[in-house]
Structure formats: structure tokens, C-alpha cells
Structure 1
């Protein structure tokens, strides 16, 4: 679930499995190179609204499981809850943030102190916090080194914290809802991407059921991932 980083290691070329429409090379503008650390220093204050925006202000959506909305994480309010979820063995196996609250606190601090490329949120279903999300600009993330990124690609990381909401199709339902929220609120975004651990079969299955397609395997520095993509153009068909 972590972002890919820029350590050594090159991924398998997922374009082999995605068709010619996914082989568009990402043009590395000076701004993008700066954000990825390969160019001049990035501006001191990035315009966060031009990156991911403010998912916590997006309207709630009605799903078959109830009303769902994203709420911006507040560390003081949410740390204990998110840390408890991170210590669930099923979550810890892939997020690798188990341990004292300080471990999760450091991760959240990095997210909250960033330039807006990644925004941490709680997923609230019928007023009950039950999941954790990171909505991020995949094309401005080190992940872009490992797949044929396109400008304004948005990525999602998630965990379902409440055990009672696992294995009932809730994950797929909410993945579809959140990807629809992104597409509705970020008009320049043409597709949503994700890179769950290839070993995490329930997660991969949830993405498939949510209208994502499997575009190949990608070697990231900390895992072998399944590259999942949901296209704006096909959102009503899948």
C-alpha cells in the first residue's frame, strides 16, 4: 500500500499487457522533474488544489451499504483509530505500519506535511469511520517511474479497518464510489490507478469488481504489485 520510492529496481514493462493506448510516454516537464527530484528545486509552496484537491470537501455519495463520505484526517483526533487498524494482522501484512502509535503518527505526519500530492482521509460509512484512504497524484509520485504514467493520473491506497466490513463486497463498493468521486471532482484526471501487493488477492479482486482492469505486474522497491486501472472513458461500462 505504500507509495513506490525511488530506490534501485526497474519494474517489468506493464505496457505489454495494456494495449497501445497505455504506452503513451509521460513527458517530463520541468515541474514534474522537480517534484520527482530530478530537476530544479520545486516551488516552496505548491498549489495543493491543483494536485489532488480537498477530498474531505467532496459531497457524500449514497451506496447500497449506506451514505459514504471522505473526511480529511486530523492526527490528534484520528491517530488512535488508524493506529489500531494498522496493528490488525491482515492490514499490517501489507501496510507494514504495525507497532506503537508513534509509527502511524510518523506516517500521518509525512502525509499531512506534504505539498498536497497525497491526501489522507477517513472513509465514513453512515457516520461511522471504517476505512483509511490516501488519494494521491500518481503521475507526480515515484510510482510514475515504474509504469507508463499519464498527466493527472490519480492513485488510491486504502484499508478497511472494521473487520465486520471485510469479505462482504464493501471494499469493491467503496472503491467504485471513491474513484467516481475523483473523476467527478478532478475533471483533468482520465484514469484512477492502484498498485496493490500481488499477494493480496482479496484487494486485487476488490479492484476488479470495482471496474478496474488488471494491466500487468510491476516490480516496485518494496513489493511486486498488480497495476490496476479504471478509465474515465469506460466508467459506465465496467
Structure 2
């Protein structure tokens, strides 16, 4: 079952990150919002067009028969990425030009923050599942993510993302060479979340889990949320907004997003929670 919440700050601060039914492993598509009772005049279809990403995928499929699909590439190490001392993770290399659905998260590189140098490193389940599973078995986390249990539970959650079409990329958050958080960077406009708010093309979503109790309650959540949101905007020119959906009841989590420069946009009813839709706008990033 997809997670419903994650801790960003104190041990009692659980930031809701994934709503049931909106995870990358559901295989569903965003609701189109069409009205079955609407008029069926043929003029209604004149403006319909396939998304650019879908057209690009078709084109690549014709040019590269037998290709395993977007988001598949050779594994890499943190040392090769310029970060020493950590084992794990893989790269989703879509080739020159960065044509995958999230503009090659693996190649975004490190970003300086007020708490150290931070980097998102795509997860490699066979190496990183034990660490992520240990975090998920923290009772404070398990109550919301619902991924406690043996490593196979986490592997089952990670695998559809890693082997999927690239619309969601699970990552380790590495701070000064040490993995200390779990992230999911995903295309919110291609996620079932888009059924519940007025999504725009290339909206990019964030799910976050601060791994250990020692890293909570230090203000890391707000610092890293802001850094990652701005990194997304820097690396994804087509993305105008970064979104998140913490549980509305989780006041500390909502506060962390506000401190990170997100604005409170709306309340949305998700399958397992009423969420606060938090938005960081490219146009407002220098003001918030």
C-alpha cells in the first residue's frame, strides 16, 4: 500500500507524502475530468493532441526497437558522481538531451545548502532496500508510510518506480556523503494526484522521509525541501511549480513546507487523507 505520510522534522512531525492510490505503482492515469453527459459535437475534438512526452516515447520506440524503455541505463556509484563513502544507487540515463519524463534526475548533481552539500541519488533496490527498509520500520514512520516489515516490502514499493516509465524516481538524499533521507521525485501531472487538483503540465511532486530520529527536529526538513524544490526548478525548465500534499492535520509538516517557500494553495480530498496542497512557484521563488 502506498505511503500516506513521512517525517520531516521532529520525531512527532510526520509529513504526509504519498496518498493511497497516488503512488507510482498503481499504474493508473490522471483523471481527464470529462463529463459523460457533455455534448459530443465533433468540434470538441479539434483541440485534442497527444502530450509531447508521449509523442517522444513513440518516436524513441520506433527508432530503438528492443529498447528496454525510458529510464533504463548502466548502474553507477556515488564515487563516480563525486561523492565518496556511500554504497548504492543507480542512474536512469535516457541518453543525450535528457528526454525522459523528469529530465534525468541522476544527472542533476550536488547542490550547496546551509547544512551541507546535498544530492539526490536514484535508488538501486538491490543495494539500498536494506537502508530504506530500516527507516520504514521506525514506528514513527511506519504509522504513515505503511511499508514496515521485511525488505521485500520496500523492494515491492521501489521496483515499479525503478522499472517504470520514469514518471517517479525514488532517491536517497545524501548530505555531505551520508545517506540520511528518502525522496520520491515524480510527475504530479501524470500521477493520480492530478485527479484532485488543477494540475498543469510538468508539475513536479515531492515525497520526503527524514531517515533517522537524530536528523529530525533540527530544521533539516525545511532547508532540504527548499533546496530540492529550487533544484527541480533549475533542472526542469519546463516545470513551473513544485507541489506536495502533507496531511492537513500535520501542522508541523505544513509549517515546514511554508518555511521552505511553499504556499498553501488548497485543501484536497485524497483517498486516505485530507491534504494541504503546497505549491512552490517558479515565479515566486525569489519572494518566498
Does the TM-score normalized on the shorter chain lie above 0.5? yes
Aligned to 1:183: 233
Deviations 1:24-71 (A, max 9, x none): xxx985449x8xxxxxxxx79457634112222212111111111111
Alignment TM-score, normalising by the size of structure 1: 0.82
Which of the residues 256, 262, 267 maps onto 1:206?
A: 256
Asked if 1:111 corresponds to 2:127, the answer is: no
Alignment TM-score, normalising by the size of structure 2: 0.68
Instruction: Sort the Cα spacing of 1:162 and 1:192 in 2 relative to 1 into closer, same or farther, 3 A.
Output: same
Instruction: Sort the Cα spacing of 1:128 and 1:188 in 2 relative to 1 into closer, same or farther, 3 A.
Output: same
- Give the deviation of 1:4 after TM superposition: 5.2
Aligned to 2:207: 157
Aligned to 1:37: none
Aligned to 2:278: 228
The answer as to whether partners of 1:4 and 1:142 remain within 8 angstroms in 2 is no
Instruction: Sort the Cα spacing of 1:98 and 1:199 in 2 relative to 1 into closer, same or farther, 3 A.
Output: farther
- Give the deviation of 1:236 after TM superposition: 0.8
Which of the residues 146, 163, 180 maps onto 1:130?
A: 180
Deviations 1:117-136 (A, max 9, x none): 00010000010100000000
| Structure 1 runs, 4 residues or longer, greater than 6 Å off | none
SS in structure 2 of the partner of residue 229 of structure 1: strand
Q: Which runs of 5+ in 1 are unaligned?
A: 8-26, 35-42
Deviations 1:146-175 (A, max 9, x none): 001011100000100021111111000000
SS in structure 2 of the partner of residue 157 of structure 1: strand
The answer as to whether partners of 1:3 and 1:142 remain within 8 angstroms in 2 is no
- 1: CA distance between counterparts of 2:257 and 2:135? 21
- Give the deviation of 1:3 after TM superposition: 4.7
Aligned to 1:2: 18
Q: Which runs of 5+ in 2 are unaligned?
A: 1-16, 27-46, 55-60, 62-67, 72-93
- 2: CA distance between counterparts of 1:175 and 1:223? 21
- 2: CA distance between counterparts of 1:218 and 1:29? 28
Aligned to 1:169: 219
Which of the residues 237, 244, 259 maps onto 1:194?
A: 244
Instruction: Sort the Cα spacing of 1:234 and 1:173 in 2 relative to 1 into closer, same or farther, 3 A.
Output: same
Instruction: Sort the Cα spacing of 1:186 and 1:159 in 2 relative to 1 into closer, same or farther, 3 A.
Output: same
The answer as to whether partners of 1:4 and 1:143 remain within 8 angstroms in 2 is no
- Give the deviation of 1:90 after TM superposition: 1.8
Deviations 1:180-217 (A, max 9, x none): 11000000100100011223332211111100011121
The answer as to whether partners of 1:3 and 1:141 remain within 8 angstroms in 2 is no
The answer as to whether partners of 1:60 and 1:68 remain within 8 angstroms in 2 is yes
Aligned to 1:100: 150
